[in-house]
């Protein structure tokens, strides 16, 4: 065992996911990227493998593994199809792990078995058309009306918001304001697709990357949500959000390392096959620099990633500075490694055949989604102000 597979259970998980990825995920990736469609059938196979509830207790249909296991799955899936993996992250981390950590037993028993099996496809709705990182600036409101809350507003950039051009995802965790008390103003609600007043807005087409995950707008017009679908108490949602952000950012960093690994593999293989001036291009210093720096940066990011994941307890916070920092580093690292891979392959890197142009496009999103790199820089600097020396 090693830092990347600390137990035999982790090593077996990696073998299973890698084999599944090579057999099932790799062959379909280009097609679904090109068509900007979500491969629902393949997604549900993740449920058959027990992956959709990777961090959820078996009592609720999951497999009860840890942050390292979640990191392994995201890394392996993203080496083939980051867009497909992003749909997995929204479902398994942003919804399933979030509800498992913050919901009550009735909510868990009612929803998590279907989410873990893949019968239900889930997502999380926080961002809005004019609000991203500034969570407290959200405009969606929820007003208590007897035995229900009435939601009005809209959410934007929602992964799994639509599973086809016309069909909503099945269930969402939705953040909305229930007052004007600063961080205690935001509450979290379960909203199912048949709740009156929930409609599918625009489905986002023409994305630079992550095209195999669907992105949509959700519109709430006097949307009635039973009081029993409030997660926790009013005003607790920012705490819920912060609790779940650590594993979200770690798994996004894991996606970056998966992208980087595949790019290093592709450029290394190509450099051992392609000749120029009667020599393999791996003999040229310029190519050596691209490959060597890419491998070193990939391994540095991967080592930091698994160190952070190993120290993250899913039932306790306290690792925000490193979850921010590892995503900050790995997101840009993956984009740069993919860029070098395109350069090593030249014209072939610029077309779909060798995959790296798609990975370059997909990598960019991780500098934006789940917290922008600027937000991480702000958070890290603020957190570092508490320390005179580093551990």
Instruction: Give the containing element (helix H, strand E) for 285.
Output: helix 285-310
Is the pLDDT score of 238 beyond 90? no
Identify the pLDDT of residue 107: 98
The DSSP secondary-structure symbol of 194 reads T
Q: Examine the pLDDT at 8 and tell me if it is beyond 90.
A: yes
Residue 150 has pLDDT above 90, yes or no: yes
pTM as predicted: 0.96
Distance CA 245, CA 240 (A): 9
d(CA 59, CA 44): 20
- The segment(s) of the chain belonging to CATH 1.20.140.10 are 238-384
Residues written for the chain: 391
Q: Is pLDDT at 316 greater than 60 in this prediction?
A: no
Q: What is the 3-state secondary structure (H, E, C) of 155-170?
A: EEEEECCECCCCCECC
Q: Work out the pLDDT band at 317, boundaries 50, 70, 90.
A: low
Question: Residue 388: its pLDDT value, please?
Answer: 79
Which range (55-64, 244-253, 315-324) has the least confidence? Answer: 315-324
CATH of 238-384, one of 3.50.50.60, 3.40.50.620, 1.20.140.10, 2.40.110.20: 1.20.140.10
Summarised one tens digit per residue, pLDDT across range 221-232 is 999 999 999 999
- Any idea which of 21-25, 67-71, 178-182 has the lowest mean pLDDT? 178-182
Is residue 233 within 8 Å of 53, Cβ to Cβ?
no
**Which class would CATH give 8-121?**
mainly alpha
Give the phi and the psi of residue 349 in degrees, each rounded to 5: -70, -20
Domain(s) labelled CATH 1.10.540.10 in the chain stretch across: 8-121
Residue 208: is it exposed, middle or buried by C-beta count within 10 angstroms (0-12/13-18/19+)? exposed
Mean of the per-residue pLDDT values of the chain = 95
- Please report the DSSP string for 170-184 in residue order: SEEEEEEE-SSSGGG
Segment among 20-34, 72-86, 209-223, 312-326 with least mean pLDDT: 312-326
Model pLDDT, residue 243: 81
pLDDT bin (cut points 50, 70, 90) of residue 262 is very high
**Predicted confidence band of residue 130 (pLDDT cuts 50, 70, 90):** confident
Strand partners, 190: 173
pLDDT of residue 318: 62
For residue 90, pLDDT beyond 70:
yes
Predicted local confidence at residue 112, as pLDDT: 98
Please report which helix (H) or strand (E) contains residue 231, including its range: strand 230-231
Checking if the pLDDT of 53 tops 70, the result is yes
Decide if pLDDT at 339 tops 90.
yes
CB proximity list for 157: less than 8 A, separation 6 or greater: 127, 132, 204, 215, 369
307: confidence class by pLDDT, cuts 50, 70, 90 = very high
Which residues form the catalytic set? 248
Do 94 and 173 meet the contact criterion of CB atoms below 8 Å apart?
yes
For the domain 123-235, what is the CATH code? 2.40.110.10
Cβ partners under 8 Å of residue 192, min gap 6: 170, 171, 172, 198
Domain with CATH 2.40.110.10 in the chain: 123-235
pLDDT for 57: 97
Structural tokens at position 89: 């992250």
């Amino acid at each position: 065992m090693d830092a990347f597979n600390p137990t035999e259970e982790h090593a077996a998980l990696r073998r299973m996911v890698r084999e599944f990825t090579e057999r099932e995920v790799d062959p379909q990736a280009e097609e679904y990227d090109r068509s900007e469609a979500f491969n629902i059938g393949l997604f549900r196979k993740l449920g058959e493998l027990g992956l959709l509830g990777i961090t959820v207790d078996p009592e609720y249909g999951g497999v009860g593994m840890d942050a390292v296991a979640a990191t392994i799955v995201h890394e392996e899936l993203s080496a083939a199809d980051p867009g497909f993996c992003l749909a997995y992250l929204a479902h398994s981390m942003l919804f399933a792990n979030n509800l498992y950590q913050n919901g009550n037993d009735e909510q868990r028993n009612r929803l998590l078995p279907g989410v873990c099996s893949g019968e239900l496809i889930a997502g999380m709705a926080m961002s809005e058309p004019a609000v991203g990182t500034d969570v407290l600036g959200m405009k969606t409101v929820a007003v208590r009306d007897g035995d229900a809350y009435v939601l009005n507003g809209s959410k934007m950039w929602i992964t799994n918001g639509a599973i086809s051009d016309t069909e909503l995802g099945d269930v969402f965790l939705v953040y909305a304001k229930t007052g004007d008390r600063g961080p205690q103003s935001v509450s979290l609600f379960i909203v199912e697709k048949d709740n009156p007043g929930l409609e599918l807005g625009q489905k986002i087409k023409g994305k630079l990357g992550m095209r195999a995950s669907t992105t949509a707008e959700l519109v709430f017009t006097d949307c009635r949500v039973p009081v029993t679908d409030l997660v926790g108490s009013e005003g607790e949602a920012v705490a819920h959000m912060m609790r779940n952000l650590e594993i979200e950012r770690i798994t996004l960093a894991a996606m970056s390392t998966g992208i980087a690994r595949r790019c290093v593999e592709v450029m290394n293989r190509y450099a051992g096959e392609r000749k120029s001036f009667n020599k393999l291009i791996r003999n040229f210093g310029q190519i050596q620099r691209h490959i060597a720096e890419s491998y070193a940066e990939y391994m540095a990011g991967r080592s930091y990633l698994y160190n952070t994941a190993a120290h993250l307890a899913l039932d306790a916070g306290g690792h925000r500075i490193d979850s921010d920092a590892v995503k900050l580093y790995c997101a840009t690292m993956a984009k740069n490694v993919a860029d070098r891979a395109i350069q090593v392959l030249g014209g072939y890197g610029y077309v779909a055949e060798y995959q790296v142009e798609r990975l370059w496009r997909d990598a960019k999103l991780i500098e934006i989604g789940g917290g922008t790199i600027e937000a991480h820089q702000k958070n890290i600097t603020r957190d570092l102000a508490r320390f005179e020396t580093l551990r």
